[in-house]
Amino acid sequence: MASVTQPAATAPAAAPATPQAASGQNVAQAPETTDGFHLLIDALKLNGIDTIFGLPGIPVTDFTRMLQAAGLRVISFRHEQNAGNAAAIAGFMTQKPGICLTVSAPGFLNGLTALANATTNCFPMILVSGSSEREVVDLQQGDYEEMDQLAIAKPLCKAAFRVLHAEDIGVGVARAIRAAVSGRPGGVYLDLPAKLFPQTLDAEAGRKSLIKVVDPAPRQIPAADAVKRALDLLKGAKRPLIVLGKGAAYAQADADIRALVEKTGIPYLPMSMAKGLLPDTHEQSASAARSYVLPEADVVMLIGARLNWLLSHGKGKTWGGQGHKDWGGQKFIQVDISPTEADSNVRIDAPVVGDIGSCVSALVAGLGSGWARPPAEWTAAIAERKTRNIAKMAETLAKNPSPMNFHSALNVVRDIIKANPDAIMVNEGANALDFTRSIVDMCKPRKRLDVGTWGVMGIGMGFAVGAAVVSGEQVIAVEGDSAFGFSGMEVETICRYNLPVCIVIMNNNGVYRGSEVNPTGGPDPSPLVFVKDARYEKLMEAFGGVGVHVTTPPELREAMEEAVRSRRPTLINAVIDENAGTESGRITSLNPTAKKK
């Protein structure tokens, strides 16, 4: 049995490995010891965790030093929410849980938003937080940063665990990893009370207590009859459509997904973060004819895409229904890791449950050789709309208005991404988000990272840092000026770690538009506007990065090309017409409006 001792003030963190050597005497060998700090590090390393995103303070300050000393990369942020977002996106990109480390109570709460967001988006992430004395917390005696963190985290994540004894660290870390990445991935909370860290333990017992997780995300093979049911339904379709969600992007089953789309010849729509799974310029992409294909399709195969608000819940006018809750008549095939996803909004006629990789490869295998492509009337009708809409867009993009608008600025971003297909696009805002998504083509998988399921502001700099750290690739973050403000202080972090991040702020002086005024005529500005002509680029210069102020597309192009060439931290303040945006971008209709004017 492992012997756990409470720390004595004088206890060394770890006894010298060879006491004889230390003393030069031939004394009896004292048992080697380890402690909570080192067991945690060993448990993380054993499971291939090499990067920690976090923010130091009591009780984890020394832990951050030791992590770095042990060879892990520790990326230290200015606010925990951004560290959490970095961890979450690292999880999405790598299929390994991203780790965020925070201090008790307020630090924990700051990280919690990112944990909840990760869970909602199915990103594997572990929020590891120090916490204060259990005895004091439970009696509510007012400890330093007292909070019942485990109870608070539980409803906001997939699983939450606390480790009280050093001998249980191995199990705690293993459970957290499995919970984060297996089945539908998500956020996990791991609570580590301050007292755990210095607890000592016999080193051999400590080593034996660690667990290297075997097969953390086991494949889940779909049932053969479910695959057949789905293919039979698809085969009978006159106007089939495939919708790819970010679950499909996460799966890293890119070749099979492409094979499924190309072998069936079925038009597909990528959801925002599934853009690039097949290049957006692919002839089967129906993105430019979205409002035509959704109501017209008769059989829709969802792959790692949920029928939530982003797909109008699978019903209503978007899908050809009469009223806003009416079924449009489509039959749905849903390929998803979670069996309870089916029927969440409308009837699913053919659920295929399993991991996306296994499901898609089973579907491809089931196609056989004689699969008939969809009727030509369907693909031709889509192609016609696409051609028309793409031509219309090209016309808009070619305009060169002064001041610059979203289109003329994003036309430049589009070219830069086209010339640098490995660059990772981070994107948030309202108009700055919606226009970028529709204008900037992605041609490789998992290169577009954005506001996700919640449409949350504040992911920008956390995602940018996380993506740059785990990939080493150039990051281009297209940010609304409001969106940027949520995580803007991390430009210091970007400079400190010298990351190849180029931030482009679409600066229209406000939330949606910068032109609003206070209707009372009073001295306060409208709640939707900011300081006019704010010089965001100086923020980057303050920390040694490159700041550029641009007002025309050629200036923007030059600044972006230089950023990509130099890989230096760069912030480009792109001045956009303050009248160019619309309320909430594309989702104006979701705003409740007052009956009484």
Q: Where are the alpha helices (DSSP H) in 122-196?
A: 134-138, 149-153, 169-181
CA dihedral (224, 227, 229, 232) positive or negative: negative
The answer for residues whose C-beta is within 8 angstroms of residue 400's C-beta and 6 or more apart is: 408, 553
- Cα–Cα distance list, 472 to 119, 349, 423, 491 (Å): 25, 43, 10, 17
Which partner, Mg ion, ligand TPP, none, binds residue 456 by CB below 5 to 8 Å per kind? ligand TPP
Residues 421-450 that bind ligand TPP (CB under 6 A): 429-432
Which partner, Mg ion, ligand TPP, none, binds residue 197 by CB below 5 to 8 Å per kind? none
Q: Which residue lies nearer to ligand TPP by CB, 266 or 457?
A: 457
Query: What gap in Å lies between CA 40 and CA 468, rounded to an integer?
Result: 26
Position 481 contacts Mg ion (CB under 5 A)? yes
Which partner, ligand TPP, Mg ion, none, binds residue 272 by CB below 5 to 8 Å per kind? none
Q: Which residue lies nearer to ligand TPP by CB, 115 or 469?
A: 115
Position 480 contacts ligand TPP (CB under 6 A)? yes
Q: Which residue lies nearer to Mg ion by CB, 428 or 481?
A: 481
Least CB distance from residue 482 to ligand TPP, whole Å? Answer: 3
Number of residues that bind ligand TPP (CB under 6 A): 18
Which partner, ligand TPP, Mg ion, none, binds residue 455 by CB below 5 to 8 Å per kind? ligand TPP
Least CB distance from residue 488 to Mg ion, whole Å? Answer: 13
- Provide the token pair at 369: 């050789």
Among 166, 410, 503, 506, binds ligand TPP (CB under 6 A): 506
Which residue type, as a one-letter code, is found at position 450?
D
Q: Which residue lies nearer to Mg ion by CB, 141 or 582?
A: 582
Least CB distance from residue 576 to ligand TPP, whole Å? Answer: 7
DSSP 18-85: -HHHHHSS-PPPPPPEEEHHHHHHHHHHHTT--EEEE---TTTHHHHHHHHHTT-EEEE-SSHHHHHH
Position 508 contacts ligand TPP (CB under 6 A)? yes
Ramachandran region of residue 578, left (φ > 0), alpha (ψ -120 to 50) or beta? alpha
Which partner, ligand TPP, Mg ion, none, binds residue 56 by CB below 5 to 8 Å per kind? none
Whether 337 contacts 303, CB under 8 Å? no
- Provide the token pair at 467: 């993506």
Query: What gap in Å lies between CA 73 and CA 67, rounded to an integer?
Result: 8
Position 585 contacts ligand TPP (CB under 6 A)? yes
Residues 510-549 that bind ligand TPP (CB under 6 A): 511-512
Q: Which residue lies nearer to ligand TPP by CB, 72 or 528?
A: 528
Cross-strand pairs, 572: 504, 548
Whether 90 contacts 61, CB under 8 Å? no
Among 36, 186, 247, 458, binds ligand TPP (CB under 6 A): 458
Least CB distance from residue 72 to ligand TPP, whole Å? Answer: 30
Token pair 């402690």: residue? 35
Least CB distance from residue 120 to ligand TPP, whole Å? Answer: 13
Query: What gap in Å lies between CA 111 and CA 106, rounded to an integer?
Result: 9
Residues 503-542 that bind Mg ion (CB under 5 A): 508
Among 351, 452, 547, 581, binds ligand TPP (CB under 6 A): 581
Position 488 contacts Mg ion (CB under 5 A)? no
Cβ-based neighbour number of residue 503 at 10 Å: 30
Token pair 């969440």: residue? 344
DSSP 269-289: EE-GGGTTSS-TT-TTB-GGG
Residues binding Mg ion (CB under 5 A): 480-481, 508
Residues binding ligand TPP (CB under 6 A): 429-432, 455-458, 480-483, 506, 508, 511-512, 581, 585
